[in-house]
Copies of this chain bind each other. A is one copy, B any other.
Amino acid sequence: MKRLNWPTKSIYIPPATSLSKPKKDFVYDAIFIGGGAAGRFGSAFLRAMGGTQFTFEMDNHLGGQCCKHNCVPEHFAYDNAVYMDHLRWFSGLTWMPEIPDKIPMVPIFELFRKVRDTNVYKFMTDQSKDQLGIEFDIYKEAKIVDPNTVEVDGERYKARNLVIATGARPRIPDIPGVHLKNVLTNRELVNIDYEPEKVVVIGAGKTAAGYTSFFRACGCDVTVVNRSPIYRFLDDDVREFVISNMKRRGIKIYENVKIKEIRGTEKVEGVVIEENGVEKVIPCDTVFLGTGVIPNSEIAKPLGVEIGPNNEIVVNRKFQTSIPNVYAIGDVTGPPYVMSKARQSGMYAARNIMGEDVEMPNRTIPEFMFTTYEVTWVGLTEKQCREQYGDAVVIKMPPFNLDIGLPLAERSMIMAHVHPEMSGFQKAIIEPKSRRFVGFWHVGYGAKAAFQYLAVLLDKGLTVDEMATFHELFLNAEHFIQLTRLRAGQKNLTSL
Protein backbone atom coordinates (compact mmCIF):
# COMPACT_ATOMS: atom_id res chain seq x y z
CA MET A 1 0.00 0.00 0.00
CA LYS A 2 2.48 2.63 -1.11
CA ARG A 3 1.60 6.21 -0.48
CA LEU A 4 1.37 8.66 -3.34
CA ASN A 5 4.56 10.50 -4.20
CA TRP A 6 3.71 14.11 -3.74
CA PRO A 7 4.89 16.42 -6.49
CA THR A 8 7.68 18.64 -5.21
CA LYS A 9 6.57 22.02 -6.52
CA SER A 10 4.63 23.83 -3.88
CA ILE A 11 1.55 24.94 -5.78
CA TYR A 12 -0.07 23.81 -8.98
CA ILE A 13 -0.31 26.38 -11.75
CA PRO A 14 -2.30 25.32 -14.81
CA PRO A 15 -0.07 24.89 -17.87
CA ALA A 16 -0.46 27.42 -20.65
CA THR A 17 -2.24 24.77 -22.76
CA SER A 18 -5.08 24.67 -20.23
CA LEU A 19 -5.53 28.42 -20.14
CA SER A 20 -7.18 30.50 -22.83
CA LYS A 21 -6.60 34.00 -24.06
CA PRO A 22 -9.76 36.07 -24.15
CA LYS A 23 -10.67 37.37 -27.61
CA LYS A 24 -10.80 41.11 -28.03
CA ASP A 25 -12.81 41.43 -31.21
CA PHE A 26 -15.57 39.10 -30.14
CA VAL A 27 -18.82 39.33 -28.20
CA TYR A 28 -19.18 36.40 -25.82
CA ASP A 29 -22.59 35.14 -24.74
CA ALA A 30 -21.30 35.66 -21.22
CA ILE A 31 -18.22 36.76 -19.36
CA PHE A 32 -18.01 35.24 -15.90
CA ILE A 33 -16.15 37.16 -13.20
CA GLY A 34 -15.01 34.46 -10.79
CA GLY A 35 -14.60 30.75 -11.36
CA GLY A 36 -15.70 29.33 -8.01
CA ALA A 37 -18.62 26.94 -7.49
CA ALA A 38 -21.13 29.29 -9.11
CA GLY A 39 -18.93 30.63 -11.91
CA ARG A 40 -17.48 27.27 -12.83
CA PHE A 41 -20.83 25.47 -12.98
CA GLY A 42 -22.41 28.39 -14.81
CA SER A 43 -19.57 28.39 -17.35
CA ALA A 44 -19.84 24.63 -17.79
CA PHE A 45 -23.60 24.71 -18.28
CA LEU A 46 -23.39 27.51 -20.80
CA ARG A 47 -20.71 25.62 -22.74
CA ALA A 48 -22.82 22.46 -22.64
CA MET A 49 -25.69 24.45 -24.17
CA GLY A 50 -23.39 25.61 -26.96
CA GLY A 51 -22.79 29.13 -25.68
CA THR A 52 -19.53 31.11 -25.82
CA GLN A 53 -17.98 32.12 -22.53
CA PHE A 54 -14.89 33.43 -20.89
CA THR A 55 -14.16 33.21 -17.18
CA PHE A 56 -11.71 35.47 -15.38
CA GLU A 57 -10.40 34.04 -12.11
CA MET A 58 -8.32 36.07 -9.64
CA ASP A 59 -6.72 33.09 -7.94
CA ASN A 60 -4.56 30.29 -9.38
CA HIS A 61 -7.39 27.79 -9.75
CA LEU A 62 -11.02 27.28 -10.58
CA GLY A 63 -13.30 25.87 -7.87
CA GLY A 64 -13.06 28.89 -5.63
CA GLN A 65 -12.80 29.11 -1.90
CA CYS A 66 -14.49 25.79 -1.32
CA CYS A 67 -11.42 23.77 -2.12
CA LYS A 68 -9.03 26.47 -0.93
CA HIS A 69 -10.11 27.11 2.65
CA ASN A 70 -13.82 26.52 3.10
CA CYS A 71 -15.78 23.31 2.65
CA VAL A 72 -13.05 20.85 1.70
CA PRO A 73 -10.68 21.45 4.64
CA GLU A 74 -13.69 21.61 6.94
CA HIS A 75 -14.73 18.16 5.76
CA PHE A 76 -11.17 16.91 5.99
CA ALA A 77 -10.82 18.20 9.55
CA TYR A 78 -14.19 16.72 10.39
CA ASP A 79 -13.23 13.32 9.01
CA ASN A 80 -10.15 13.36 11.22
CA ALA A 81 -12.23 14.46 14.21
CA VAL A 82 -14.63 11.57 13.82
CA TYR A 83 -11.81 9.03 13.80
CA MET A 84 -10.23 10.71 16.84
CA ASP A 85 -13.45 10.80 18.82
CA HIS A 86 -14.47 7.28 17.94
CA LEU A 87 -11.08 5.79 18.70
CA ARG A 88 -11.05 7.58 22.03
CA TRP A 89 -14.51 6.30 22.91
CA PHE A 90 -13.65 2.80 21.79
CA SER A 91 -10.15 2.82 23.27
CA GLY A 92 -9.34 -0.42 25.07
CA LEU A 93 -12.35 -2.16 23.57
CA THR A 94 -11.32 -5.50 22.07
CA TRP A 95 -8.67 -4.59 19.45
CA MET A 96 -9.02 -0.82 19.51
CA PRO A 97 -5.74 1.12 19.90
CA GLU A 98 -5.06 3.85 22.46
CA ILE A 99 -4.71 7.35 21.12
CA PRO A 100 -3.35 10.37 22.98
CA ASP A 101 -5.57 13.07 24.46
CA LYS A 102 -3.75 15.80 22.59
CA ILE A 103 -3.32 15.47 18.84
CA PRO A 104 -1.40 18.05 16.78
CA MET A 105 -3.48 19.79 14.14
CA VAL A 106 -0.65 21.49 12.23
CA PRO A 107 0.29 18.28 10.37
CA ILE A 108 -3.36 17.69 9.50
CA PHE A 109 -3.67 21.04 7.74
CA GLU A 110 -0.23 20.55 6.18
CA LEU A 111 -1.45 17.34 4.63
CA PHE A 112 -4.60 19.06 3.43
CA ARG A 113 -2.60 21.87 1.80
CA LYS A 114 -0.17 19.47 0.19
CA VAL A 115 -2.99 17.70 -1.61
CA ARG A 116 -4.94 20.86 -2.33
CA ASP A 117 -1.95 22.69 -3.81
CA THR A 118 -1.24 19.85 -6.19
CA ASN A 119 -3.97 17.37 -6.95
CA VAL A 120 -7.13 19.26 -6.11
CA TYR A 121 -6.21 22.36 -8.07
CA LYS A 122 -5.04 20.17 -10.92
CA PHE A 123 -8.33 18.27 -10.94
CA MET A 124 -10.21 21.55 -11.21
CA THR A 125 -8.16 22.56 -14.25
CA ASP A 126 -8.31 19.18 -15.94
CA GLN A 127 -12.03 18.72 -15.51
CA SER A 128 -12.88 22.32 -16.43
CA LYS A 129 -10.72 22.40 -19.51
CA ASP A 130 -10.59 18.85 -20.84
CA GLN A 131 -14.02 17.56 -19.87
CA LEU A 132 -16.13 20.69 -19.83
CA GLY A 133 -14.39 22.91 -22.37
CA ILE A 134 -14.48 26.02 -20.20
CA GLU A 135 -12.32 28.92 -21.44
CA PHE A 136 -10.62 30.65 -18.55
CA ASP A 137 -7.54 32.47 -17.39
CA ILE A 138 -6.13 32.80 -13.88
CA TYR A 139 -4.64 35.61 -11.80
CA LYS A 140 -6.96 37.97 -13.66
CA GLU A 141 -8.75 40.69 -11.78
CA ALA A 142 -11.65 42.05 -13.81
CA LYS A 143 -13.16 45.52 -13.56
CA ILE A 144 -16.66 46.14 -14.87
CA VAL A 145 -16.74 49.00 -17.33
CA ASP A 146 -20.41 48.81 -18.36
CA PRO A 147 -23.07 46.05 -18.56
CA ASN A 148 -21.36 44.61 -21.62
CA THR A 149 -17.70 45.30 -20.96
CA VAL A 150 -15.00 44.27 -18.54
CA GLU A 151 -11.43 45.45 -18.33
CA VAL A 152 -8.60 43.10 -17.49
CA ASP A 153 -4.91 44.03 -17.49
CA GLY A 154 -5.80 47.22 -19.33
CA GLU A 155 -7.67 45.45 -22.15
CA ARG A 156 -11.43 45.51 -22.71
CA TYR A 157 -13.61 42.48 -23.49
CA LYS A 158 -17.22 42.34 -24.61
CA ALA A 159 -20.18 40.08 -23.83
CA ARG A 160 -23.94 40.12 -24.27
CA ASN A 161 -24.15 39.32 -20.56
CA LEU A 162 -21.95 39.67 -17.50
CA VAL A 163 -22.13 37.15 -14.69
CA ILE A 164 -20.77 38.25 -11.33
CA ALA A 165 -19.63 35.28 -9.26
CA THR A 166 -17.28 36.84 -6.74
CA GLY A 167 -18.41 34.94 -3.65
CA ALA A 168 -18.31 36.06 -0.05
CA ARG A 169 -15.74 36.52 2.72
CA PRO A 170 -15.81 35.94 6.47
CA ARG A 171 -17.75 38.59 8.35
CA ILE A 172 -15.48 40.06 11.00
CA PRO A 173 -17.57 41.10 13.98
CA ASP A 174 -17.12 44.51 15.53
CA ILE A 175 -15.48 43.34 18.76
CA PRO A 176 -12.49 45.16 20.29
CA GLY A 177 -9.35 43.08 19.84
CA VAL A 178 -10.67 41.16 16.84
CA HIS A 179 -7.46 41.90 14.91
CA LEU A 180 -5.11 40.43 17.50
CA LYS A 181 -2.82 37.62 16.46
CA ASN A 182 -4.34 34.11 16.75
CA VAL A 183 -7.86 35.36 16.11
CA LEU A 184 -8.65 33.09 13.20
CA THR A 185 -11.34 32.58 10.64
CA ASN A 186 -11.49 29.38 8.63
CA ARG A 187 -9.21 31.08 6.08
CA GLU A 188 -6.34 31.49 8.52
CA LEU A 189 -6.98 28.18 10.24
CA VAL A 190 -5.90 26.11 7.23
CA ASN A 191 -2.49 27.82 7.41
CA ILE A 192 -2.07 27.45 11.17
CA ASP A 193 1.56 27.05 12.31
CA TYR A 194 1.15 26.51 16.08
CA GLU A 195 -0.84 24.17 18.30
CA PRO A 196 -3.75 25.84 20.09
CA GLU A 197 -4.37 24.76 23.68
CA LYS A 198 -7.39 26.80 24.70
CA VAL A 199 -9.82 27.94 22.05
CA VAL A 200 -12.84 30.21 22.28
CA VAL A 201 -15.25 29.82 19.38
CA ILE A 202 -17.38 32.90 18.74
CA GLY A 203 -20.57 32.08 16.89
CA ALA A 204 -22.72 29.02 16.37
CA GLY A 205 -23.22 28.66 12.68
CA LYS A 206 -22.36 25.54 10.75
CA THR A 207 -18.68 26.27 10.18
CA ALA A 208 -18.25 27.13 13.85
CA ALA A 209 -19.97 23.89 14.86
CA GLY A 210 -17.70 21.73 12.72
CA TYR A 211 -14.47 23.29 13.92
CA THR A 212 -15.65 23.30 17.53
CA SER A 213 -15.78 19.51 17.30
CA PHE A 214 -12.45 19.35 15.55
CA PHE A 215 -10.64 21.50 18.15
CA ARG A 216 -12.07 19.37 20.93
CA ALA A 217 -11.14 16.13 19.19
CA CYS A 218 -7.56 17.43 18.93
CA GLY A 219 -7.59 17.76 22.70
CA CYS A 220 -8.04 21.52 22.97
CA ASP A 221 -9.97 23.10 25.80
CA VAL A 222 -12.93 24.55 23.87
CA THR A 223 -15.53 27.12 24.86
CA VAL A 224 -18.35 28.30 22.60
CA VAL A 225 -19.72 31.77 23.23
CA ASN A 226 -22.77 33.17 21.50
CA ARG A 227 -25.11 36.12 21.80
CA SER A 228 -28.19 33.93 21.54
CA PRO A 229 -29.06 30.26 22.11
CA ILE A 230 -26.97 28.10 19.81
CA TYR A 231 -28.36 25.95 16.99
CA ARG A 232 -31.88 27.34 17.27
CA PHE A 233 -32.57 26.20 13.73
CA LEU A 234 -32.61 22.58 14.96
CA ASP A 235 -35.68 20.66 16.12
CA ASP A 236 -35.81 20.78 19.94
CA ASP A 237 -35.16 17.05 20.48
CA VAL A 238 -32.33 17.10 17.95
CA ARG A 239 -30.83 20.21 19.53
CA GLU A 240 -30.99 18.60 22.97
CA PHE A 241 -29.18 15.50 21.70
CA VAL A 242 -26.51 17.56 19.92
CA ILE A 243 -25.80 19.94 22.79
CA SER A 244 -25.83 17.29 25.52
CA ASN A 245 -23.32 15.28 23.50
CA MET A 246 -21.11 18.34 23.05
CA LYS A 247 -21.13 18.84 26.84
CA ARG A 248 -20.45 15.16 27.38
CA ARG A 249 -17.31 15.63 25.30
CA GLY A 250 -16.23 18.47 27.55
CA ILE A 251 -17.13 21.43 25.34
CA LYS A 252 -18.19 24.46 27.40
CA ILE A 253 -21.03 26.59 26.12
CA TYR A 254 -22.08 30.14 27.04
CA GLU A 255 -25.31 31.25 25.41
CA ASN A 256 -27.08 34.62 25.59
CA VAL A 257 -23.91 36.48 26.49
CA LYS A 258 -22.45 39.79 25.37
CA ILE A 259 -19.05 39.37 23.77
CA LYS A 260 -17.33 42.47 25.01
CA GLU A 261 -13.70 42.18 24.08
CA ILE A 262 -10.95 39.94 22.81
CA ARG A 263 -8.12 40.69 25.19
CA GLY A 264 -4.39 40.39 24.67
CA THR A 265 -1.18 42.15 23.80
CA GLU A 266 -0.14 41.23 20.29
CA LYS A 267 -1.55 37.70 20.69
CA VAL A 268 -4.99 36.87 22.03
CA GLU A 269 -5.05 35.98 25.75
CA GLY A 270 -8.72 35.80 26.60
CA VAL A 271 -12.30 36.65 25.67
CA VAL A 272 -14.35 38.92 27.90
CA ILE A 273 -18.02 38.09 28.05
CA GLU A 274 -20.90 39.43 30.09
CA GLU A 275 -23.42 36.90 31.36
CA ASN A 276 -26.45 38.12 33.28
CA GLY A 277 -24.70 41.42 33.94
CA VAL A 278 -21.57 39.74 35.27
CA GLU A 279 -18.30 40.08 33.40
CA LYS A 280 -16.15 37.01 32.96
CA VAL A 281 -12.82 36.42 31.24
CA ILE A 282 -12.30 33.14 29.42
CA PRO A 283 -8.54 32.68 29.05
CA CYS A 284 -7.45 31.32 25.69
CA ASP A 285 -4.61 31.36 23.21
CA THR A 286 -6.84 31.19 20.13
CA VAL A 287 -10.16 32.65 19.05
CA PHE A 288 -12.08 31.13 16.16
CA LEU A 289 -14.57 33.43 14.46
CA GLY A 290 -17.56 31.56 13.11
CA THR A 291 -19.62 34.65 12.62
CA GLY A 292 -20.91 34.25 9.11
CA VAL A 293 -19.98 35.75 5.78
CA ILE A 294 -20.50 38.93 3.81
CA PRO A 295 -20.95 39.02 0.01
CA ASN A 296 -18.16 40.45 -2.18
CA SER A 297 -20.47 42.78 -4.05
CA GLU A 298 -18.10 45.77 -4.22
CA ILE A 299 -17.19 45.03 -7.84
CA ALA A 300 -20.80 45.64 -8.90
CA LYS A 301 -21.35 48.91 -7.06
CA PRO A 302 -20.05 51.23 -9.84
CA LEU A 303 -22.65 49.68 -12.17
CA GLY A 304 -25.46 50.86 -9.95
CA VAL A 305 -27.14 47.46 -9.57
CA GLU A 306 -29.32 47.06 -6.50
CA ILE A 307 -27.40 45.99 -3.39
CA GLY A 308 -29.26 44.59 -0.36
CA PRO A 309 -28.83 45.36 3.32
CA ASN A 310 -26.29 42.59 3.87
CA ASN A 311 -24.07 43.72 1.00
CA GLU A 312 -25.62 41.15 -1.33
CA ILE A 313 -26.42 41.78 -4.98
CA VAL A 314 -30.19 41.57 -5.31
CA VAL A 315 -31.35 39.10 -7.97
CA ASN A 316 -34.59 37.54 -9.18
CA ARG A 317 -35.05 33.76 -9.51
CA LYS A 318 -33.36 33.91 -12.92
CA PHE A 319 -30.35 35.47 -11.16
CA GLN A 320 -30.69 38.72 -13.06
CA THR A 321 -29.65 41.83 -11.16
CA SER A 322 -31.56 45.10 -11.53
CA ILE A 323 -29.72 45.39 -14.87
CA PRO A 324 -31.23 42.45 -16.80
CA ASN A 325 -28.15 41.43 -18.77
CA VAL A 326 -25.98 41.53 -15.65
CA TYR A 327 -26.40 38.36 -13.65
CA ALA A 328 -25.08 37.55 -10.18
CA ILE A 329 -24.75 34.01 -8.90
CA GLY A 330 -23.55 32.17 -5.81
CA ASP A 331 -22.67 33.66 -2.44
CA VAL A 332 -22.48 37.22 -3.75
CA THR A 333 -26.29 37.10 -3.94
CA GLY A 334 -26.66 36.47 -0.20
CA PRO A 335 -28.09 33.58 1.77
CA PRO A 336 -28.52 30.65 1.75
CA TYR A 337 -24.75 30.25 1.45
CA VAL A 338 -24.85 26.66 0.25
CA MET A 339 -22.97 24.90 -2.49
CA SER A 340 -26.09 23.60 -4.23
CA LYS A 341 -27.55 27.07 -4.63
CA ALA A 342 -24.23 28.43 -5.91
CA ARG A 343 -23.97 25.72 -8.53
CA GLN A 344 -27.64 25.87 -9.50
CA SER A 345 -27.62 29.63 -9.75
CA GLY A 346 -24.89 29.30 -12.38
CA MET A 347 -27.05 26.85 -14.26
CA TYR A 348 -30.15 29.07 -14.21
CA ALA A 349 -28.15 32.13 -15.26
CA ALA A 350 -26.74 30.12 -18.16
CA ARG A 351 -30.16 28.87 -19.25
CA ASN A 352 -31.65 32.36 -19.26
CA ILE A 353 -28.62 33.79 -21.05
CA MET A 354 -29.06 31.13 -23.71
CA GLY A 355 -32.64 32.20 -24.34
CA GLU A 356 -34.68 30.03 -22.02
CA ASP A 357 -37.12 31.81 -19.74
CA VAL A 358 -36.79 29.80 -16.57
CA GLU A 359 -36.72 30.44 -12.82
CA MET A 360 -34.98 28.35 -10.18
CA PRO A 361 -37.73 26.20 -8.60
CA ASN A 362 -38.46 26.82 -4.96
CA ARG A 363 -37.35 23.44 -3.63
CA THR A 364 -36.88 22.65 0.01
CA ILE A 365 -33.15 22.68 0.65
CA PRO A 366 -31.66 19.94 2.82
CA GLU A 367 -29.09 21.12 5.35
CA PHE A 368 -26.38 19.73 7.57
CA MET A 369 -23.75 20.58 10.11
CA PHE A 370 -21.03 18.65 11.89
CA THR A 371 -20.64 18.14 15.56
CA THR A 372 -18.73 14.86 15.63
CA TYR A 373 -22.01 13.53 14.36
CA GLU A 374 -23.40 14.50 11.01
CA VAL A 375 -26.57 16.43 11.72
CA THR A 376 -28.78 16.48 8.63
CA TRP A 377 -32.28 17.77 8.13
CA VAL A 378 -34.87 18.93 5.69
CA GLY A 379 -38.22 20.60 6.26
CA LEU A 380 -39.98 21.52 9.47
CA THR A 381 -39.28 21.01 13.15
CA GLU A 382 -41.98 19.39 15.27
CA LYS A 383 -42.80 22.79 16.74
CA GLN A 384 -43.12 24.39 13.31
CA CYS A 385 -45.42 21.57 12.21
CA ARG A 386 -47.64 22.11 15.26
CA GLU A 387 -47.71 25.84 14.63
CA GLN A 388 -48.50 25.45 10.96
CA TYR A 389 -50.92 22.52 11.08
CA GLY A 390 -52.12 22.42 14.69
CA ASP A 391 -50.83 18.89 15.19
CA ALA A 392 -47.85 16.62 14.56
CA VAL A 393 -47.09 12.92 14.70
CA VAL A 394 -43.46 11.93 15.10
CA ILE A 395 -41.44 8.80 14.48
CA LYS A 396 -38.33 8.75 16.62
CA MET A 397 -35.38 6.52 17.24
CA PRO A 398 -34.33 5.67 19.87
CA PRO A 399 -38.03 5.66 20.57
CA PHE A 400 -38.25 5.44 24.32
CA ASN A 401 -35.03 4.39 25.92
CA LEU A 402 -31.58 5.77 25.36
CA ASP A 403 -29.97 2.66 26.79
CA ILE A 404 -30.76 0.89 23.53
CA GLY A 405 -28.38 1.86 20.75
CA LEU A 406 -30.08 2.63 17.52
CA PRO A 407 -28.01 1.01 15.88
CA LEU A 408 -27.69 3.86 13.46
CA ALA A 409 -26.31 1.67 10.73
CA GLU A 410 -22.96 1.72 8.98
CA ARG A 411 -20.20 3.10 11.13
CA SER A 412 -22.42 3.34 14.20
CA MET A 413 -22.62 -0.34 14.97
CA ILE A 414 -19.68 -0.29 17.33
CA MET A 415 -21.06 2.79 19.02
CA ALA A 416 -24.44 1.17 19.39
CA HIS A 417 -22.78 -1.78 21.08
CA VAL A 418 -20.56 0.21 23.44
CA HIS A 419 -22.14 3.61 24.00
CA PRO A 420 -25.74 3.11 22.94
CA GLU A 421 -26.74 6.44 24.42
CA MET A 422 -24.39 8.11 21.95
CA SER A 423 -25.20 6.21 18.81
CA GLY A 424 -27.48 8.83 17.32
CA PHE A 425 -30.96 10.23 17.13
CA GLN A 426 -33.51 10.62 14.39
CA LYS A 427 -36.97 11.95 13.94
CA ALA A 428 -39.52 12.25 11.18
CA ILE A 429 -42.35 14.78 11.44
CA ILE A 430 -45.73 13.95 9.92
CA GLU A 431 -48.80 16.11 9.42
CA PRO A 432 -51.40 13.54 10.50
CA LYS A 433 -54.45 14.73 8.52
CA SER A 434 -52.76 14.58 5.14
CA ARG A 435 -50.42 11.77 6.34
CA ARG A 436 -47.63 13.73 4.64
CA PHE A 437 -44.09 14.03 5.90
CA VAL A 438 -43.09 17.62 6.59
CA GLY A 439 -39.64 17.15 8.13
CA PHE A 440 -36.79 14.67 8.52
CA TRP A 441 -33.98 14.93 11.07
CA HIS A 442 -30.96 12.76 11.69
CA VAL A 443 -27.96 12.85 14.01
CA GLY A 444 -25.49 10.08 13.27
CA TYR A 445 -23.53 8.95 10.25
CA GLY A 446 -24.17 7.90 6.70
CA ALA A 447 -27.57 9.50 6.19
CA LYS A 448 -26.48 12.78 4.67
CA ALA A 449 -26.62 11.76 1.02
CA ALA A 450 -30.10 10.33 1.55
CA PHE A 451 -31.46 13.73 2.53
CA GLN A 452 -30.74 15.06 -0.96
CA TYR A 453 -33.45 12.74 -2.25
CA LEU A 454 -35.71 12.84 0.80
CA ALA A 455 -35.93 16.60 0.16
CA VAL A 456 -37.22 15.94 -3.35
CA LEU A 457 -39.72 13.32 -2.21
CA LEU A 458 -40.90 15.63 0.55
CA ASP A 459 -41.62 18.32 -2.03
CA LYS A 460 -43.50 15.75 -4.09
CA GLY A 461 -45.86 15.22 -1.14
CA LEU A 462 -44.51 11.96 0.26
CA THR A 463 -47.01 10.24 2.58
CA VAL A 464 -46.47 7.53 5.18
CA ASP A 465 -48.48 5.17 2.99
CA GLU A 466 -46.14 5.72 0.07
CA MET A 467 -42.98 5.44 2.15
CA ALA A 468 -44.15 2.14 3.61
CA THR A 469 -43.80 0.66 0.12
CA PHE A 470 -40.15 1.72 -0.34
CA HIS A 471 -37.33 -0.81 -0.12
CA GLU A 472 -34.97 -0.05 2.75
CA LEU A 473 -31.39 -1.25 2.64
CA PHE A 474 -30.81 -2.97 5.95
CA LEU A 475 -29.13 -1.59 8.15
CA ASN A 476 -29.78 1.82 6.72
CA ALA A 477 -28.45 4.90 8.39
CA GLU A 478 -31.88 6.33 8.96
CA HIS A 479 -34.71 4.01 9.84
CA PHE A 480 -37.43 6.14 8.28
CA ILE A 481 -38.79 3.53 5.89
CA GLN A 482 -39.15 0.61 8.25
CA LEU A 483 -40.32 2.69 11.20
CA THR A 484 -42.92 4.29 8.96
CA ARG A 485 -44.10 0.84 7.95
CA LEU A 486 -44.72 0.00 11.61
CA ARG A 487 -47.22 2.86 11.80
CA ALA A 488 -48.65 3.11 8.30
CA GLY A 489 -51.35 0.54 9.07
CA GLN A 490 -53.06 2.99 11.44
CA LYS A 491 -56.05 4.92 10.18
CA ASN A 492 -55.37 7.56 12.82
CA LEU A 493 -51.64 7.89 13.04
CA THR A 494 -49.95 7.96 16.43
CA SER A 495 -46.35 8.71 17.24
CA LEU A 496 -43.74 5.96 17.49
Chain A residues engaging chain B, CB cutoff 8 angstroms: 1, 3-4, 41, 44-50, 66, 71-72, 75-76, 78-80, 82-84, 86-89, 93-100, 103-104, 107-108, 111-112, 115, 119, 122-123, 126-127, 130-132, 248, 338-341, 343-344, 347, 350-351, 360-361, 363, 365-368, 374, 376, 399-401, 403-405, 407, 409-414, 416-420, 445-457, 468-478, 481-482, 485-491, 496
Contact = CB atoms under 8 A, between A and B. Distances in A.
A456 B470 contact: yes
Copies per complex of this chain? 2
A48 to B, nearest CB: 3
Nearest to A45: B489
Nearest to A398: B123
A363 B481 CA distance: 14
Nearest to A350: B489
Contacts of A409: 75, 448-449
A491 B82 CA distance: 43
Given A119-B403, A127-B399, A471-B338, A95 B89 contact: no
A400 B445 CA distance: 29
Contacts of A478: 449
Contacts of A361: 469
A366 B471 contact: yes
Given A339-B472, A414-B79, A449 B447 contact: yes
B98 A97 contact: yes
A473 B123 contact: no
A477 B413 CA distance: 19
28 contacts: A1-B248, A4-B420, A45-B485, A45-B488, A49-B491, A66-B474, A71-B474, A79-B411, A94-B108, A95-B100, A95-B107, A111-B418, A112-B417, A115-B416, A115-B417, A126-B404, A131-B400, A338-B471, A340-B474, A368-B473, A410-B446, A446-B446, A449-B476, A450-B450, A452-B470, A452-B473, A452-B481, A457-B457
A351 to B, nearest CB: 8
B452 A449 contact: no
B365 A471 contact: yes
Contacts of A47: 489
